[in-house]
Amino acid sequence: MRKIVYHLLLFVTIISCKEEKPIGWIDNERLTHREAKDWLSLGGDHMMQHYSPLNQITKKNVKDLGYAWEYDASTIIGNVPRGLEATPIVVDGIMYTSGAWGAVYALDAKTGNQLWIYKPQVDASYGRRTCCDVVNRGIAVWEGKVYIGTLDGYLVCLNAENGSVLWSKDTFTDRTKAYTITSPPQVAGSIVMIGNSGGEYGVRGYVTAYDLKSGEEKWRFWIVPGDPANGYESEEMEMAAKTWDPNSHWQSGMGGTAWGESAYDPELNLLYVGTGNSTPYPIWFRSPAGGDNLFLSSILAINPDNGKLVWHYQTTPGEIWDYTATQNIVLADVDINAKPRKILMMAPKNGFFYVLDRVSGELISAENYTKVNWASHVDLKTGRPVLTENGQWYKDKPRLVVPYLGGGHVWQPMSFNPTTGLVYIPERAVPQVFKSFDTYQWLPDVDNTNLDYGNMFKFKKNVADQIKSAEDTLRSESLLAWNPVTQKVAWKFPDGGPDGGIMSTPDLVFQGTRTGYFNVHDARTGEKLKSIFTGTGIMAGATTYSIDGEQYVAVMAGYGGAETSAYLPDGVVFQYENKTRIIAFKLGGGETPIPPKKTPIETPAPPDTKIKTELLAKGATLYDFYCFICHGNFGGKHLSQHPDLSKLTPAKHMVFNDILLKGILSQNGMANFSNSLSEEDVEAIHQYLLKQQTESYKKEKAAKQ
Ligand code: CA
């Protein structure tokens, strides 16, 4: 009897221990043995496959998929809605996810009701330091805590129950450089790792690890070396420096920033990190003698206990095309040549699909998953791409290259489906003219790629001799199903590609599009089974979970960011208000609410002043360099979610200089440019805009009459 009571007590104790686990409890045990109802990491579980075994929603009943709820995740700083890119995490019925600037939302995943919100206090000037909007790619939830990297560089640990700040660490080594954080943290063993962004701006990439509980800094792994004259931080940097010209342009930082989804294998205790592109892109300005330039565009396997490199694989030696290897890392255990292999997969920007042995880093296979003309193939013996004529330096002449700088696949997650054995990739084939300027100088807080963006798509003018057929300049996009074992296309859905990340379940593939649809495809054939119009551009990958026996699919909808085809006219963001929100769907759900249509803004009458024509050329050049990336072009062709600057009100004209040089609209998200532009520069830009406004105004008036 005593024994029974003892066991009963033990049993009750175990039960109550389980119940006592704090809210948001995810640990290695739960992550490696995920219950189907939960979605515990950005990729679902530790394999980061963006796959769920839930199968209540089937090929047969998916026609009944409809709206369950939505949550307004609109802008928290400024008045322009920003892009959303994170995949929500769902644990025990609570959804945790992040938004612009590094905001965190905790919601009841059944109703969308907000439990708490974390709003970081970020100086809007950091918006100037992003190539591709003030986005955030997600959080980590671990043992009752939520980890977020804010745009201005803090790793913040929140209490998962109420969102209160437990600790906050400044992860930046140099605040005079244009570092930002847009990437998700990654938990590995007893640490949480965070990288950063800024590869286009001229920063030196690194990742830092902090103790999960105390936030104490444990180690920092530099991705590219600094000036060897200052010595090396680690033996890895001493090794990497041998692949750089000692007279490299060290002031440029060299890039290599880690801003994508990482992964951690708890069994091997290896942390996998993908690294970014170079700064400046042309190696003849960066590392004039050439070299592989480690660890740009590489996949790194790091021991999280000490921050030491275990193995590395460089996808694009001597990178000159913005070919990051920051695309999402997916782990899988598959049979290759009748042998079970632990693999790591990535479809980086450079167009090749890499299958590596994740224990040793051995290259198993690499084939192009999209159109590639810079290399003929990857030599499996050397592990190196074999360059073609198009892949030579664009130093002496412009070169026609595919994939373009946005890549054959960018940050939007691909999904591996262990049931079909296929990987689903938001693929695109876009050719580009690579042309650099003749000289290079590093400047603070601006794009330091030294690429001539104005000539990117001027094929006939620049590379007529390299065009062999009309197809060489065509762009295409697809939802691509790829067999990673045979390295071959399984199927291709041509118009399914525009932008959205992928999630899959045993029989289905889910993808949102910039054109405002949320689509569901047959995982085996690609057939589109369901298409829901949301009126909101969708870039993020979806998540799926189950509550009270009911399966939900949720996705963050909201558009913004240059690397996401933001300037393509078919974006729904140019027709409807960019209503940034989380939308959840379920079987038997209703109609999805559509945001209001955008109404065209009439051009206000320009101030009655004489335009200083002698400043127009300078103004145009400055506009292209500083303003275009956010504000885009003018008039009927205004393809940007930021204001059309040819439609300034009289009041804005009055304070034009103060907006740029004193930052008086920084609360709206408009950065201060006083460290880049002089009063004369601002005057030239203003005159150029006045000219545009005068022309637009006249045109509109004439059309009315
Ligand atoms: Ca880049």
pLDDT tens for 55-100 read 999 999 999 999 999 999 986 788 788 999 999 999 999 999 999 9
Number of domains making up the chain: 2
Range of the domain at 678: 613-704
Query: How much distance in Å is there from the Cα of 122 to the middle of ligand 1?
Result: 23
Q: How far is the CA of 370 from the centre of ligand 1 (A)?
A: 19
pLDDT-above-90 percentage for the chain: 84
Q: Are residues 93 and 201 in the same domain?
A: yes
400-420 average pLDDT score: 97
Residue that wins the pLDDT comparison between 47 and 578: 47
Residue 567 pLDDT greater than 80, yes or no: no
Instruction: Inform me whether the pLDDT recorded for 543 exceeds 90.
Output: yes
Can the peptide bond before residue 457 be classed as cis, meaning omega within 30 degrees of 0? no
pLDDT at 601 over 80: yes
Q: What is the per-residue pLDDT for 131?
A: 85
Give the angle 375-381-383 at the CA atoms, nearest 5°: 50
Is 536 within 8 Å of 517 (Cβ atoms)? no
Choose among 272, 262, 239: nearest CA to 359: 272
For residue 301, report the distance from its CA to the centre of ligand 1, in Å: 21
Residue with tokens 């060897």: 228
Do 567 and 622 reside in the same domain of the chain?
no
Residue appearing with tokens 């199968």: 55
pLDDT higher at 640 or 493: 493
Does residue 2 fall inside a structural domain?
Answer: no
Judge if 338 and 426 occupy the same domain. yes
Residue 344 CA to ligand 1 center (angstroms) comes to 22
Task: Give the CATH number of the domain where residue 652 resides.
Answer: 1.10.760.10
Domain shared by 347 and 456, yes or no: yes
pLDDT band of 628, cuts 50, 70, 90: confident
| Chain length of the chain | 705
Tens of pLDDT, residue by residue over 425-444, are: 999 999 999 999 999 999 99
Q: What pLDDT does 573 receive?
A: 87
| pLDDT band for position 200 (cuts 50, 70, 90) | very high
Three-state DSSP state, 491: strand
Confirm whether 3 is domain-assigned: no
CA 669 – ligand 1 centroid, Å = 22
690 and 558, same domain (yes or no):
no
**What is the Cα gyration radius of the chain?**
25
Between the CA of 359 and the centroid of ligand 1 the distance, in Å, is 28
Looking at the fold, whether 551 and 433 belong to one and the same domain comes out as yes
**Residue 321 scores a pLDDT above 90:** yes
pLDDT of 7: 55
Calculate how far, in angstroms, residue 184's C-alpha sits from the geometric centre of ligand 1.
17
Cα-to-centroid distance, 288 and ligand 1 (Å)? 20
Q: Are residues 448 and 484 in the same domain?
A: yes
Output the CA 200–ligand 1 centroid distance in Å.
6
Exposure b/e, 317-333, CB count within 10 A at least 16 = b:
bbbbbbbbbbbbbbbbe
Residue 502 lies in a domain: yes
Q: Which residues contact 617 (CB under 8 A, 6 or more apart)?
A: none
Cβ atoms of 572 and 598 within 8 Å: the answer is: no
- Most distant CA atoms of the chain, gap in Å: 101
Instruction: Give the integer Cα–Cα distance in Å for 208 and 258.
Output: 11
Indicate whether 583 and 618 sit together in one domain: no
How many H-runs (helices) and E-runs (strands) does the chain carry?
Answer: 10, 36
- Residue 22 in any domain: the answer is no
* Residues 202-246 pLDDT 10s: 999 999 999 999 999 999 999 999 999 999 999 999 999 999 999
The answer to whether residue 602 sits within a structural domain is no
**Closest CA relative to residue 373, chosen from 388, 355, 358:** 388
Contact between residue 450 and residue 436 where contact means Cβ atoms under 8 Å apart: yes
Q: Which residues contact 332 (CB under 8 A, 6 or more apart)?
A: 47, 49, 343, 345, 416, 418, 484
| Distance (Å) from CA 52 to ligand 1 centroid | 30
Confidence tier at 705 by pLDDT (50, 70, 90): confident
Q: Is 388 helix (H, G, I), strand (E, B) or coil?
A: coil
Q: Confidence band (pLDDT; 50, 70, 90) for 2?
A: low
The pLDDT score that the predictor gives to residue 127 is 85
Q: Compute, in angstroms, the gap from residue 283 CA to the centroid of ligand 1.
A: 15
| Claim to verify: residue 213 and residue 146 sit in the same structural domain | yes
Average pLDDT over all residues of the chain:
93
Q: Which residue has the tokens 């590609």?
A: 497
Ligand 1 centroid vs 240 CA: distance in angstroms? 21
User: Are the CB atoms for 559 and 514 separated by under 8 Å?
Assistant: yes
Q: Identify the CA nearest to 337 among candidates 463, 487, 131, 537.
A: 487
The rounded Å distance from CA 247 to ligand 1 centre is 23
587, 602, 624 - which closes a domain: 587
Contact 89, 141 (CB under 8 A): yes
- Catalytic residue positions? 322
Give the domain CATH number at 322: 2.140.10.10
Note whether 500 and 646 are same-domain residues: no
With a cut of 50, say whether residue 17 has pLDDT above it. Answer: no
205: CB partners within 8 A, 6+ apart: 195, 196, 198, 199, 222, 223, 224, 253, 254, 255, 256, 257, 258, 275, 276
Query: Do 607 and 653 touch, CB atoms closer than 8 A?
Result: yes
Pairing of strands 270-274, 263-265: antiparallel
- Whether 329 is covered by a domain: the verdict is yes
Whether 593 is in a domain gets the answer no
The answer as to whether 675 is a domain residue is: yes
What percentage of the chain carries pLDDT values higher than 70?
96
Place of tokens 């992550």: 31
* Residue ranges with CB less than 5 Å from ion ligand 1: 199, 277, 322
Same domain, 412 and 500: yes
Average pLDDT over residues 581-594: 98
Asked if residue 622 and residue 474 are part of one domain, the reply reads: no
